[in-house]
């Protein structure tokens, strides 16, 4: 599978959620609305941040903040209770920051 790197600017849809893996590795999840134009609905992107940057995102970012994200797109899948396989894409962020302060 081809590795896709992406950079985008958007607004947080909710406060980032911080959790820790069983090995105590911090991981933060959030969604970003990327606007394409006034008449076009936004595209929602799932973002995952790891390590110290994950902890900083959980403290520094809040719903509605405009941020930029740069990272690698990853495709994930899971099986529903009915046995159906569902797929989705998320961005494994390398860099996250404010667009303005």
- pLDDT at residue 101, rounded to an integer: 52
- pLDDT at residue 100, rounded to an integer: 66
What share of the chain in percent tops pLDDT 90?
80
Which of 88, 77, 96 lies closest to 6 in space, CA to CA?
96
Which of 100, 11, 96 lies closest to 62 in space, CA to CA?
11
Domains parsed from the chain with CATH numbers = 1-36+43-67 (2.40.50.140)
Question: For residues 1 and 75, what is the distance between their CA atoms, to the nearest angstrom?
Answer: 10
Which residue stretches of the chain have pLDDT < 70? Answer: 1-2, 100-101
- pLDDT at residue 33, rounded to an integer: 96
Any idea what the Cα angle at residue 71 is, between residues 40 and 42, rounded to 5°? 10
- pLDDT at residue 2, rounded to an integer: 66
Asked if residue 100 lies in contact with residue 66, where contact means CB atoms within 8 angstroms, the answer is yes
Average pLDDT, the chain: 92
């Amino acid at each position: 599978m081809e590795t896709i790197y992406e950079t985008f600017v958007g607004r947080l849809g909710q406060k980032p959620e911080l959790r820790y893996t069983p090995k105590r590795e911090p991981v933060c999840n959030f969604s970003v609305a990327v606007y394409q134009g006034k008449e076009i609905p936004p595209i929602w992107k799932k973002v995952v941040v790891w390590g110290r940057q994950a902890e900083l995102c959980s403290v520094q970012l809040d719903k509605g903040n405009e941020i930029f994200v740069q990272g690698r797109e990853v495709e994930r899948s899971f099986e529903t209770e009915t046995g159906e396989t569902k797929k989705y894409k998320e961005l494994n962020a390398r860099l996250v920051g404010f667009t303005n302060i």
